[in-house]
Structure 1
Amino acid sequence: MEKKRRFALIGTGNRGTTMWGTDLLAGWAEHVEMVAIVDRNRLRAERARAMIGAEAPIYTELDPMLQAVRPDLVIVCTPDDSHDDIVVRSLESGADVITEKPMTTTVDKIRRIIEAEKRTGRRVDVSFNYRYAPTAARIKTLLDAGEIGRVTSVDFHWYLDTSHGADYFRRWHAYAKHSGSLFVHKATHHFDLLNWYLGSDPQAVTAFADLKMYGRKGPFRGSRCRHCAHMKECDFYFDLEADPFLGALYEEPSKLDGYFRDGCVFREDIDIPDTMVAAIRYGNGVHVSYSLNTFQPIEGHHIAFNGTGGRIELRQYESQPWEVPAQDTILVVRNFQKGAQAVERIAVPHASGGHYGGDDRMRNMIFKPGMSDPLAQRAGSRAGAVSVLCGIAALSSARAGTTVRLAELMPELLGEQLL
């Protein structure tokens, strides 16, 4: 009989409670056992444990849990800037680690994690679930098969709507010291997809970024939405109490730590951009045009691969004010062809589960024994590092007005084979 992996959940926010709590135990209980929950806010941890339906003991500090429980695996779902300490200490205790993206936020923190992983011989997995979405896997298969020849450039544009995008400016993500900016926190997903699709490392980044909607750009402000004097006139008013799940996890527990889930999106001290563009040059010669917008009436992305033999294009809708089919359509358009022969339309139905089935496929890969990985979807610490470095380079470029070369940020890492 397979031995269950004994895991500890660190951080009981939305993602930890659902993806790595309720959902993990519901679908993979034959492979894993939750043996501890750690959160500095004990009330939030208690609420999360009840939602998960677990009986695991609660700890408010990491080290006592590691010493008492000795988990095989630690799953990290805390704010981004705290990942490195938790990952390193967990590795040193003898546990493997799964960390939510981004792996961390600075070059020094990347170094700490990679050094600890090498020194301890344990494994770090980074939760890059977008790699596992059925449409992403199909695109990767088409690219690897050379369906459009050699890729020369990529157009990649991501749109966050006024619900999802604004949410990053309500929370700790709105401060670069915690999230590294959305060039790191959100775009780490996108940069990782590019690295994986292209099978190459980014070499240099030139970027522009600004705050155009949120923060000091707002017409008025308060500390949080609850009891705000402007709630009736603010388009971004967020009623936390209207969501029982978020209300239970965050409202009453905020009395213990002062963390409000409904912070004003117009707080003047917000210091991350909300509108970002970047040009990226890859080691294999591919040029990428990338953008991230955070206050659109739509949610989703557009990506197109331009090759010597044609073009692969996808427009994926996640939220929009009109109905779309529950599937994606990949267009493969070939050079020097005419009529129906020029275009192949590949329909990819959406799978159940988060990220169109990507979450479930990732958990299968990590937890089910004997899983093959022909597309190299399972992402380790190097993949996590390179995607973060790309985000760090982009923010540095936007702030300094210069092109940033990634090898100058971390020369000991770049140049190795991409994992």
Structure 2
Amino acid sequence: MKRRNFLTTSAGVAAGATVLSSPVGAAVSAQRKKRLALVGTGIRGTGFWGKRVVENYSDIVEFVGLCDINPGRLQFALDYMNVDCPVFTDFEKMMNETKPEMVIVTTVDATHHKFIIKAMEMGADVLTEKPMTTDEDKSQAILDAEKRTGQKCTVGFNYRYGTLFTAIKEQLAKKPVGEITSVDFHWYLNTYHGASYFRRWHGERDKGGTLLVHKATHHFDLLNWFIDSDPVEVTAYGDLEHYGINNKFRGVNCRNCAYTDKCDYYWDITKDQHSMNLYVKNEKYDGYIRDNCLWREDIDIFDKMSAQIKYANNVVVNYSLTTYSPYEGWRIAFNGRDGRIESWEDIPWRQQEKINQAELHAAEMNQNAPGEVRYDEIFKMHNFDRDFEMIKVEAARGGHGGGDSRLQDKIFRDPDMADPYKHSAGTRDGAMSCLIGVAARKSINEKRPVKIEELTSIKPHPTRGA
């Protein structure tokens, strides 16, 4: 078998630069600034949708109000984001007094729908963090409210905008291996990143809907976008076998634990000054503990998950999510009638380097550092050709593969920029990705296949454009 290596500067990279560019003209800075309000001042709200927006888009947007149930975090948000605006613990009061044009929702997942719907009813567009919501009834309520009010709700799916994912989408659009018939998609969370979900409120399903909704909504959205079709049926399996009750000892939290010397997952939050300032100093207001014990009995989500998803165009997907892998990464393969396309990221033996997993995740989430330039790969091979192509895509570490900047440029800098690959995600996209997770959760609970059409009024179509 011969191997051909070539560097692509005209595929995913060029597409990312051309399709998602955001030139700024003199007229833009002269416009009146768009009025933003933020509800939910946790780490995602104050960082990605707060400080980062202030630093990069203050010439065209301004925060006119911040809202949270925790007054301590509100004060932290003002200082950290470097804004001077009113703060509120009452959402409707903020809406009435500040009259925002757009509300950014970054609260606990299970409460997204309340603020999305109320904001639209009070005349504002909405930008919500993923997942859009956590169950089928809330999804339907959001869809109905958007139709009823005429306002727009955007879902912040930044993975779509990543350089490698854009390059994969471009390759699929060319149909180099014929019609896609099945997909294998596996995501690995390491023992640093994966464990963090079980320390936080995400470990309780009434708040995050399980990781099949909170985390996997990213992955299901990518699948819907790549396959360009709607899911119709989901069969899933899952269990809690590692975290939660599955340990012989447990403490109050990591700061107050007698077993730190024997717990491989011990995390010293006192060495993380940002978390200390944002969370620990403000525990007294709402009781939220950021360094909760991974073995606490309140954890009731799955820590191993797999799902088989059938699409309206007859594509079948095999998906899995691992929450305690020794490394962090993912791999995907598209099986076509005429061949196969594969890609991966951060698989250690592929990169032939030792990876410090804590530093890897910190670098991935870093919104400020430009990141080290490196190359990702897309493998392409035809069924009866012993030769294959290894497409190298230039990428940058940091900010979800470069997707964060492109997503925010599209939302704030140039909403009307060309978007031939349909990176932008609305409520239907948010619902469909969420509903795969909801169907998977229901399938596990009820031990049966679940049809997407059971859940909301959305009728799945063979092509998303329909």
- Return the TM-score normalized by structure 2: 0.87
Is 1:126–1:381's contact at 8 Å kept on the other side of the alignment?
Answer: yes
Paired residues for 1:299-378 under 5 Å: 299-317=328-346, 322=354, 326-338=374-386, 342-351=387-396, 353-369=398-414, 370-378=416-424
Name which of 275, 286, 292 aligns with 1:246: 275
Of 44, 49, 59, the residue aligned with 2:78 is: 49
Q: Does the aligned pair in 1 maintain the 2:247–2:295 contact within 8 Å?
A: yes
| 1:260-314 C-alpha deviation (Å, 9 max, x unpaired) | 0011111112110100011111110111000000011111101011101211111
User: 2:202 is matched by which residue type in structure 1?
Assistant: H
Deviations 1:199-248 (A, max 9, x none): 10111111110111100112211221112111121111111111111110
Change (3 A) 1:416 1:126: farther
Q: How does 1:9-408 map to 2 (within 5 A)?
A: 9-317=38-346, 322=354, 326-338=374-386, 342-351=387-396, 353-369=398-414, 370-408=416-454
Name the amino acid aligned to 1:38.
C
Q: Which has the higher contact order (CA 8 A, sep 6+)?
A: 2
| Alignment match, 2:16 | none
Greater Cα offset, 43-52 or 192-201: 43-52
**Judging changes above 3 Å, is the alpha-carbon distance between structure 1 residues 183 and 190 closer, same or farther for their aligned structure 2 residues?**
same
SS at match of 2:401: helix
Structure 2 CA distance for partners of 1:337 and 1:279, relative to 1, 3 Å: same
Deviation at 1:322, TM superposition (A): 1.2
Question: What is the DSSP-based 3-state SS (H/G/I as helix, E as strand, rest coil) of the residue aligned with 2:36?
Answer: strand
Shift of 1:415: 3.9
What's the CA shift string for 1:111-160, capped at 9, x where partnerless?
11111111111100001100000100110111111111100110000000
TM-score in terms of structure 1 length: 0.96
User: CA separation in 1, counterparts of 2:396 and 2:459?
Assistant: 36
Give, in angstroms, the shift of residue 416 of structure 1: 8.8
Tell me the amino acid that sits aligned with residue 385 of structure 2.
Answer: Q
Letter in 1 for 2:388: V
User: Any idea what the Cα deviations from partners look like across 1:36-74, whole Å, max 9, x if unmatched?
Assistant: 111111111111221111112111110100000000000
More displaced, 309-318 or 251-260? 309-318
Distance 1:147 1:316 in 2: 21
Amino acid at match of 2:431: A
Partner residue of 1:410? 456
Greater shift in the superposed pair: 207-216 or 329-338: 329-338
Query: What is the distance in 1 between the residues matched to 2:347 and 2:58?
Result: 30
Check 1:353–1:315 CA distance in 2 against 1; reply closer, same or farther (3 A cut). Answer: closer
CA positional deviation for 1:353: 4.3
CA–CA distance in structure 1, aligned partners of residues 127 and 227 of structure 2? 24
Is the contact between residue 129 and residue 358 of structure 1 (CA under 8 Å) also seen in structure 2? Answer: yes
Report the CA distance between 1:351 and its aligned residue: 3.0
Letter in 1 for 2:384: F
Which residue matches 2:364?
Answer: none
Alignment: residue pair count: 416
CA distance in 2, matches of 1:284, 1:223: 50
- Taking the aligned partners of 1:249 and 1:212, their CA distance within structure 2 comes to 31
Corresponding letter in the other structure for 1:287? V
- Distance in 2, matches of 1:201 and 1:179, equals 23
Report the identity percentage.
Answer: 45
Find the residue that maps to 2:307 and give its secondary structure.
Answer: strand
1:316 and 1:399, CA in 2 relative to 1: closer, same or farther beyond 3 A?
same
Aligned-partner Cα distance in 1 for 2:257–2:38: 34
2: CA distance, partners of 1:144 / 1:417: 13
Alpha carbons 2:340, 2:381 under 8 Å: kept? yes
Distance across 1 between alignment mates of 2:316 and 2:462: 20
Over 6 Å off, 4+ runs: 318-321
CA contact (8 A) 1:83 1:99 kept: yes
Q: Tell me, what secondary structure is at the counterpart of 2:380?
A: strand
Q: 1:140 to 1:124 in 2, by over 3 A?
A: same
Contact 1:383 1:418 in 2 (8 A): no
- Aligned letter for 2:124? A
Residues in 1 aligned to 2:222 and 2:312: alpha-carbon distance in whole angstroms:
15
Matched to 1:53, the amino acid is N
Distance change (3 Å), C-alpha of 1:271 and 1:256: same
Deviates more, 1:316-325 or 1:169-178: 316-325
Q: State the secondary structure of the residue aligned to 1:216.
A: coil
Distance change (3 Å), C-alpha of 1:367 and 1:416: farther
